[in-house]
Structure 1
Amino acid sequence: MKHFSQIFILFTAIVFLSSCSENKKQNVKESDYTIAAFYWPAYHYEPRSEFLFPEKTGEWEIIRNAVPKEERHQQPKVPLWGYLDEANPKDMDLKISTALEYGVNTFIFDWYWFEKAPFLESCINDGFLKANNDRMNFYLMWANHDATTYWDVNNPRVDSVYWDGEVDREQFDIIVDRVISNYFKEPSYFKIDGEPVFCIYELNTLINGLGGPEKTKEALDYFRQKTVEAGFPGLHLQSILWEALPSTIEGVPGDPIKSQDDVLSYFGFKSLTNYCWAHLQNPDGDYEVWGDASTDMWGGFRDQFSMTYYPNITVSWDANPRFPFKAGYINNSTPQKFEKYLIKARNYVDENAIKPKIITINAWNEWSEGSYLEPDITWGYGYLEAVRNVFGSAN
């Protein structure tokens, strides 16, 4: 009888361990999702923007000094971790470790090139790459928009330009060499089918700077060629879907370009996503009204485009720290409501058999636009916990 009892205990232990193993397998399966958060690298000292942020801490300056514009307006936003220096590997290590713990496994860095030189690059070079040790994937979104007084809270005008986002072909070729050498060759650079992913924010601006659609196509073909010569099977171009993506282009011999899909196909883009819901619906009012209207557009994107559309989820929106006047903003965002849209995105990816399973989030740290996963004193780790509830840990 004692022998039987020991056998029974052993059998029960085996069943329990098997169950644990199965649960672990399910968690591994969940981590097949690429949860890619946009990263705004403006929270470190950038010499070129010292005239905007003389305290030498980047946009933390305006976050600290933000004030409510009306009753019940939740400003300032206060980071739970304090005002970290993202160009410091120690501070960046906290971001990477926390992101992975809560299921965010990829950063999409906003990347800039103004006046023949990179801008805000220290976050990636000095912070992320020195801290990462290939733990977390990343890729670049070339934020090739103009730098306007939108970044200057003391300037009531938002239509004058500090730096032009357009580049000519000479500068484009320099950018190609820099991106391939400094980033594509990093083992942690995100790739689809072996092809490095490179996202472009404003296609209109690229076309204008390069001198028209034909010259832009030549430049992008050159980018592909140089990527292949560097040892990759190709280049995966990704577009940001919003009004800066033209629906028609003129001067293309023999090609009737009459839709955004035609435009992307002509240039050889392979996928698209959104940067934030503010590009889809006016960011003013209730979070769920805004979120429902934005995510209900996904089916149309799927049907409209021949390339893969990856859904985007946005945490919230409030860019008032950047303005001396009151701008529209989103209210009533909570981690629980955010989680509802994460589930909707997961279901969209699964039901449409999207491969790889990429979901983009705005954003890891858009503090100046009120859309961030990083913990604050109001919700703590609530938004990150929502990600982990739906997708599990990336560790």
Structure 2
Amino acid sequence: PVAPDLFDFWIEMPPHGLVEGPDYLFGGPEGNRMPVPVNGRFTGLIYDYTAAAQRSLTAAYRGKLPENTIVGIMPSWDNTARRGLRAHIAHGANPASFRLWLSGLLRHRIAGSYRRELFVNAWNEWAEKAILEPSQRFGRSNLDVLRDELSAATDRAGTGG
């Protein structure tokens, strides 16, 4: 059947459309809530990666998405290289927080994802730090997380758990 909007499917592409006011630690409606000092010339936005990840698991957020949406995740986000002091930064993004978000998506949202697919916003986009590739900071950790969590989800599906 043809969807009413004529699109075969939508792709959820965090952080776009996911981050909301309470998630901002700096530059948002609640002012500076950063746990560490911020350069006084910085005019960008810093948001809590974990808060955004948790929001993506809520029924309220899911209800805003078209039915034919592929679930999306990002391992990190920091476009300082591209935007300088106007950057948007996901504070707290690391392999451990990526694992928690990915595990939550695979347990609670993948069954409702269009064609049960997962989209990872990591296009080897070094200027956005939206990367899965090995890096000096995290090595292969993000790739290992993706492999391990997908394998665990496959095992759960095979055993009915």
Give the TM-score band, short-chain normalised.
0.5 to 0.7
Name the residue aligned to 1:232.
none
Name the residue aligned to 2:14.
276
Number of matched pairs: 125
- Equivalent pair of 2:19/2:47 in contact (CA under 8 Å): no
1:285 aligns with one of 47, 50, 56 = 47
The change in CA–CA distance for 1:328 and 1:364 in structure 2 (over 3 A counts) is closer
Partner SS for 1:379: coil
Write the distance in 1 (CA, Å) between the matches of 2:129 and 2:100.
19
2:103 aligns with one of 311, 323, 343 = 343
* Bigger mean CA deviation after superposition, 360-369 or 379-388: 360-369
How high is the sequence identity, in percent, across the aligned residues? Answer: 22
Q: State the one-letter code of the partner of 1:288.
A: T
Name the residue aligned to 2:85.
325
Partner SS for 1:340: helix
Write the distance in 2 (CA, Å) between the matches of 1:333 and 1:357.
25
2:122 aligns with one of 353, 363, 388 = 363
- Equivalent pair of 1:277/1:291 in contact (CA under 8 Å): no
> Residues 253-304 of structure 1: CA distance to partner in whole angstroms, max 9, x if unpaired?
xxxxxxxxxxx724x11211222223321562321022222443542145xx
Q: State the one-letter code of the partner of 1:286.
A: D
Write the distance in 2 (CA, Å) between the matches of 1:324 and 1:364.
20
Q: State the one-letter code of the partner of 2:96.
A: Q
Q: CA deviation at 1:326?
A: 4.1
1:163-174 matched pairs, under 5 angstroms:
none
Write the distance in 2 (CA, Å) between the matches of 1:324 and 1:356.
38
What TM-score does the superposition give when structure 1 sets the normalisation length?
0.29
Write the distance in 1 (CA, Å) between the matches of 2:104 and 2:92.
19
Structure 2 gap segments, 5+ residues each: 21-44, 153-161
Asked which structure has the greater RCO (Cα within 8 Å, sep 6+), the reply is 2
Q: CA deviation at 1:357?
A: 1.7
Structure 1 gap segments, 5+ residues each: 1-235, 237-263
Write the distance in 2 (CA, Å) between the matches of 1:361 and 1:295.
16
Moved over 2 A (4+): 293-299, 323-328
Which structure has the greater CA radius of gyration? 1
Name the residue aligned to 1:299.
62
1:31-70 matched pairs, under 5 angstroms:
none
- Equivalent pair of 1:316/1:371 in contact (CA under 8 Å): yes
Q: CA deviation at 1:355?
A: 5.6
Write the distance in 1 (CA, Å) between the matches of 2:106 and 2:88.
29
* Bigger mean CA deviation after superposition, 269-278 or 356-365: 269-278
Partner SS for 2:93: coil
- Equivalent pair of 2:56/2:62 in contact (CA under 8 Å): no
- After superposition, the CA RMSD in angstroms is 2.5
